[in-house]
Structure 1
Amino acid sequence: MPDTSPETVPDRIFHIATDADWRRTLETGTYSTSTVGRTLEDEGFIHASRREQVQGVFDRYYRGLGEHLVLLTIDPARLTGAEVRVEAVGADTYPHVYGPINRSAVVDVAPLDRRGGTETLMSLWIGGMAVRMGVALAVMALVTVVVLVLS
């Protein structure tokens, strides 16, 4: 299973995915996107990070992408047919997944907001409610204008 060189593999690793890529995983059962626009086949592994590295990865590669993003939480012990290696990248180390990620290894999927933070169900509900209230106010204003013009 997971290789622990040069340092121990964390209990959980994280990967930012587009919503479209994640939906494909729900259909196929495996995830194989390495990073934005690159597959496992292109790169040789899937980029991942420790939790404290997620924001920096988001800022460097995903901010302004214009797609709905999700944060995958992966349990390396549940990977089947893939190996995790923690490898040096510049002055830091990052976990890399050598092989496709099976759906059952993904223990959580959280939507990311435009700043790279995870969105809670409450924040999604409030955001949706704000949009609906804005539309309702716009319709009421339009109806008021029409009534005033016609009277």
Structure 2
Amino acid sequence: MTASVPERIFHIATEADWRRTLATGTYTTSTVGRSLEEEGFIHASRRDQVQGVFDRYYRGLGERLVLLTIDPARLTDADVLVEAVGDDTYPHVHGPINRSAVVEVVPLDRRGGTETLMSLWIKGMAVRMGIALAVMLAVLVVALALT
């Protein structure tokens, strides 16, 4: 079964791996714990495959994850081949992904859904409010102990 390369392909990355790409300009992680050199290609997917990939390989990983949207036409040192995997096909990037080929990066939540700016803001506010409440409680305990 041969399929054409989609206009956009997707790859789930750890935030740490993506940060390294920002420093080096090149992404070379194939999948969790495996490099391009070890695997021979970088695993990718169509958009409709992202949730299944997340559920099988990334759920419960315990690291912050991002979803990379890659424009195959912008790859400078790699080719994308759509290859059979079981009863389906997946795009595989044969070579490193240059930073300029990544057209969007969005955080993923614990369920594999994309995070919005609003949800990130709300989570940040909740953390700050929790810290503020803990500090106020500590001050109250100290004040009561001194009286």
Aligned to 2:4: 8
Aligned to 2:143: 147
Partner Cα distance (1:8, 1:117) in 2: 26
Q: Does 1:62 align with 2:58?
A: yes
Residue identity in the other structure for 1:66: G
Residue identity in the other structure for 1:142: A
Q: Does 1:93 align with 2:89?
A: yes
How far the C-alpha of 1:34 sits from its partner, in A, is 0.5
Q: Does 1:77 align with 2:70?
A: no
Normalization by structure 2: what TM-score? 0.95
Partner Cα distance (1:32, 1:142) in 2: 47
Aligned to 2:41: 45
Partner Cα distance (1:139, 1:35) in 2: 41
Partner Cα distance (1:35, 1:91) in 2: 20
Q: Does 1:129 align with 2:128?
A: no
How far the C-alpha of 1:115 sits from its partner, in A, is 1.2
Structure 1: tracts of 5 or more residues without a match:
none
Aligned to 1:105: 101
How many residues matched? 147
Aligned to 1:32: 28
Structure 2: tracts of 5 or more residues without a match:
none
SS in 1 for 2:132: helix
Normalization by structure 1: what TM-score? 0.93
Q: Between the two proteins, what is the percent identity of the paired residues?
A: 82
Spell out, residue by residue over 1:1-33, the C-alpha distance to the aligned partner (whole angstroms, 9 max, x if none): xxxx81111110000011111111111111111
SS in 2 for 1:9: coil
**C-alpha RMSD of the superposition:** 1.2
